[in-house]
Chains A and B, each alone.
Chain A
Amino acid sequence: MVDTVIHVALLFLLPPFLLGVINKTKAKLAGRVGAPLLQAYFDIAKLARKGFVLSGTATWVFRAGPAVALSAVAAAGLLIPFGRFDAPIAFAGDLILFAYLFGMARFFTMTAALDTGSSFEGMGASREAAFSCLSEPALFFAFLVLAKLSGSLSLGKMLMVSPESFASGAAAPLILISLGLFVILLAETCRIPVDDPNTHLELTMIHEAMILDHGGPWLGTILYASSLKLFVLVAVLANVIVPFRTGKAWLDWPIFVGETLALAIVIGFLESAMARLKMRRVPYLLVSAILFCGSAFILLVR
């Protein structure tokens, strides 16, 4: 019970902090002081207080977009275990619900973008649609590997990778799917090298281009939902990469939070070290994620 409360509290409170950590890392590496770690919370609070401005062409579909995206991502967050603690909701096959909840968020974000009739937003939606076609099979291959390893179809068990499986010949597949999942994480949360969250050149953006016309509380909702998405995917990856657990609850929660923050720092390093890929190179990166996860599966079942 206590663990469930902590799970929900972390899920809803921690995500904007990750954005702060990433930005702070980037600022430090660039020799700047950078925005405070809690900047994302301030931004969201400020946006929530603003008034609503709506495009003249937009309908109720536009207003539904952020709401659906937030609820879908939050629901997905309830399906995954954090560290060694079980997910609040678990049933056989919840991995499919997990993947399709992201699909639901994507559908409504893209239709909201098209609702404004702006060509830039159409462009962003088109790219998002195309790239997700490649990240989806990669995600399912990764899930297949985890399902085969754990003999279960529930994310709760699948993501409890035991340290022994690294020793017992499953290390290579696990490393490969970690790489694949990392690429999926970068693509789904629109980080460098797939997309640059800070860019202001509309022609080259994906996610930021889709939300050009959202303002005020809607923009706040989207910002919060995308930080939640980042946190959820980071938690999935953290469970696969670091299966080390002590067995004591008071120690395991800080360890899990530490893992997610460490991954955020890694993302910050990566964003400082790399430039964004050319748009037509992005599919190659995603195909490589499919190859990583697919060959991991073949290695496992050979």
Chain B
Amino acid sequence: MGLRPGPAAVYGFPWPAAGNAAIGLDALSAFFLVPIFLFGGLGSIYGLGYWPQARHPGSARRLQTFWGLAVAGMGLLLVARHALAFMLGWEIMALSAFFLITAEDREAESRRAGFIYLIATHLGTLTLFGMFALWRWATGSFALEPIATGAAGVGVMNALFFLALIGFGLKAGVMPLHFWLPGAHANAPSHVSAMLSGVMLKMGIYGLVRFLFLLPDPPAAWGGLVLVLGASSGLLGVVFAIGQHDIKRLLAYHSIENVGIILMGLGLAMLGRSAHRADWLVLGLAGCLLHVWNHSLFKSLLFLGAGSVVHGARERRIDLMGGLAGSMPWTAAMFLVGAVAICGLPPLNGFVSEFLVYLGLFGTAVIPGAKVSAAVAAAPVLAMIGALALACFVKVYGMVFLGTPRRPDSAPARESPVGMLAPMLPLALCCVLIGGVPALLGPVLDAAVAAPALAQFDALPPVLALAPLGAVGLASRMAIAVIACIAAFQYLRARRIRRAPTWDCGYASPGPRMQYSASSFARTIESMFAWALRPRERAPRIEGPFPRNASLESHVDDAVLDRLIVPAARGTRRLFGWFRRFQQGLTQQYILYVLVALALLLCTLIPFGDLISRLFGR
């Protein structure tokens, strides 16, 4: 209903605390509501199989309650047209997420991730409070409506922009503000990780799209900054993903990468807004929004697949898995769909949104007669991100599902129950559908793009007029058909297949431990990006003709959390050690502090001017 273009429906109702509150539904809100409702339902079905009440009597009920609350909170913040209602929804979502993340609160790691998340989300909320206070001061109301040109000074506008960027960026997981994300996604139950990554991060994106388009006349520097943040977040996100050994942590870093791609689209749209180029705006924003949908589809699919793997193989470390395609064929097939989609490969949906962003970026270069915008340099960066993501997912898929099991002692993995496999199927089908028939989405994207942007432009060109999505869809469908034909032909011809052991270049008895591992696969790329990753490695010294058993370890720390925030927090704690002598836990002492503070406050009432003039005057 709301996906159709047209004026937004707004309903007001009295709210004694804050004047008139309003909720409304326009195409942008409706666009973001779709993944919430799709995944809210599918994820809770999955949760019944993954986290059954019988096996987790303590936490299963809590999980279901807060799942519902989180979905409701997100729904509220999307339809809110009043700052306080928005913050209410935001906090319901953010706090329920804390209880969802710490479902396994007996594990120290899970508690730590939960607390880091709590700190980050409060930091974000604080920033948003600052932003709304400033908003109220500048516009005189809490209503979320476009600010008129010239209503506020440049400084206020810049302050609003940066507060929004930090507050929403923390939730979206943009690169320097992503520090809470990998831990939280890795330690939460898998369907919760899927919800956090697939849906909740997008609330940060929604906030950015909604608020940045309410600010009038953005300078080009804002768009440029968002574009640069997106590009660096995309590149570093995928590079850090390659360095991970834990399947869920790896997927979490890929969320950072995809948020980067989304922000590249948004940055391009903002540049288009500054430069009054409707085509940049439409392509950038359409790419941004479509990637929001696509990422929520394939990332949820991948996290559910990873959950199925963790469930079946009872293991999260990639280097200890292998050969799961044999024992878990359905999970393997679904995960492959997700992996191909997230790499942005045709014929699936990831390609379509990246295509829109590429087209917009290239479009900034080919205007005849005009100077080339620096934004175009993001196109090769996006190409590199694509190639790295491909390497990363070949690593994950190859090491987890292909080859032979790397731990011969462990019991064979079991395929997950239907209750866990069934929710993945609609997600995979949506990936194929958007990839195969992207032109279907043209009107939906037009409406969603027009909702925030029509205030500046009288008319926007439709997405389908700028991007040949019909041709892309045709090419994708043809590719699917040709592959199916060749596969069918091979299948018919290859009914008699001789099985033989893998040929290991003449080696007599190849074993599962001789397989290439995920770490060795990633090593070449890791060494190329060692300047950013700084892997910690403990290599053994091998001495003598008969060396003893030795092992090699390598680990990639998070750049911001482990190398910046934790040392800084330690330093602060050491620095403020002296303050402890004022805080001994004695009630009498605290009363004394109160008394001293009161006396000092009373001193301010003394008319010092009079006093001095009477003492020294005349």
Q: Which A residues contact B (CB, under 8 angstroms)?
A: 51-59, 61, 63-64, 67-68, 70-72, 74-75, 89, 91-97, 99-101, 103-104, 106-107, 110-111, 113-123, 125-127, 129-130, 132-141, 143-144, 147-148, 151-153, 202, 212-213, 217, 283, 290, 294, 301
- Bound form: Cα–Cα A56–B510 in Å: 12
Q: Would you call the interface of chain A mostly helix, strand, loop, or mixed?
A: helix
Q: Is B502 a contact of A132 with CB atoms below 8 Å?
A: no
At the interface, yes or no: B144 with Cβ under 8 Å from chain A? Answer: no
* Complex interface: stretch among B1-9, B59-67, B117-125, B389-397: B389-397
Instruction: Using A57-B323, A59-B325, A126-B523 as known contacts, list a sample of 11 further A-B pairs with CB atoms less than 8 Å apart, ordered by residue number in A.
Output: A53-B498, A54-B498, A63-B487, A93-B362, A97-B346, A117-B402, A125-B516, A129-B391, A130-B391, A137-B383, A147-B366
Q: Is A213 a contact of B503 with CB atoms below 8 Å?
A: yes
Q: Chain B residue with minimal CB distance to A150?
A: B366
* Complex interface: stretch among B77-85, B135-143, B148-156, B374-382: B374-382
Q: Is A126 a contact of B325 with CB atoms below 8 Å?
A: no
Q: Is A144 a contact of B380 with CB atoms below 8 Å?
A: yes
At the interface, yes or no: B471 with Cβ under 8 Å from chain A? Answer: yes
At the interface, yes or no: B387 with Cβ under 8 Å from chain A? Answer: yes
- Bound form: Cα–Cα A53–B521 in Å: 26
At the interface, yes or no: B462 with Cβ under 8 Å from chain A? Answer: no
Which of B380, B494, B502 sits near A118, CB closer than 8 Å? B502
- Bound form: Cα–Cα A66–B140 in Å: 65
User: Contact flags (1/0) for B381-410 with A, using CB distance below 8 Å?
Assistant: 111101110110111011101111000000
A residues near B515, Cβ cutoff 8 Å = 117-119, 122
Q: Chain B residue with minimal CB distance to A130?
A: B524
Q: Is A54 a contact of B524 with CB atoms below 8 Å?
A: no
- 26 residue pairs bridging A and B, Cβ less than 8 Å apart: A51-B498, A57-B502, A59-B329, A61-B401, A64-B483, A71-B483, A72-B479, A75-B478, A91-B468, A97-B346, A100-B351, A101-B479, A107-B394, A117-B502, A117-B515, A118-B515, A121-B516, A122-B521, A129-B521, A133-B528, A144-B362, A153-B359, A153-B366, A212-B505, A213-B502, A294-B380
At the interface, yes or no: B536 with Cβ under 8 Å from chain A? Answer: no
Known: A126-B521, A132-B390, A212-B503. A75 touches B497 (CB 8 A): no
A residues near B336, Cβ cutoff 8 Å = 61
B residues near A110, Cβ cutoff 8 Å = 394, 398
At the interface, yes or no: B114 with Cβ under 8 Å from chain A? Answer: no
Known: A115-B402, A126-B516. A144 touches B502 (CB 8 A): no
A residues near B382, Cβ cutoff 8 Å = 140
Which of B363, B502, B525 sits near A130, CB closer than 8 Å? B525
At the interface, yes or no: B107 with Cβ under 8 Å from chain A? Answer: no
Q: Is B323 a contact of A139 with CB atoms below 8 Å?
A: no
- Bound form: Cα–Cα A122–B502 in Å: 13
- Most chain B CB atoms below 10 A, which of A91, A104, A152, A153: A104
Which of B332, B402, B505 sits near A114, CB closer than 8 Å? B402
Q: Is B390 a contact of A52 with CB atoms below 8 Å?
A: no
At the interface, yes or no: B467 with Cβ under 8 Å from chain A? Answer: yes
* Complex interface: stretch among B89-97, B165-173, B337-345, B595-603: B337-345
Within the complex, the shortest CB–CB distance from B575 to chain A, in Å, comes to 42
B residues near A123, Cβ cutoff 8 Å = 516, 520
Q: Is A53 a contact of B500 with CB atoms below 8 Å?
A: yes
Q: Is A118 a contact of B510 with CB atoms below 8 Å?
A: yes
At the interface, yes or no: B176 with Cβ under 8 Å from chain A? Answer: no
Q: Is B358 a contact of A61 with CB atoms below 8 Å?
A: no
Q: Is B516 a contact of A103 with CB atoms below 8 Å?
A: no
Known: A107-B394, A120-B505, A129-B525. A97 touches B498 (CB 8 A): no
Within the complex, the shortest CB–CB distance from B499 to chain A, in Å, comes to 5
A residues near B363, Cβ cutoff 8 Å = 153
B residues near A147, Cβ cutoff 8 Å = 362, 365-366
At the interface, yes or no: B512 with Cβ under 8 Å from chain A? Answer: yes
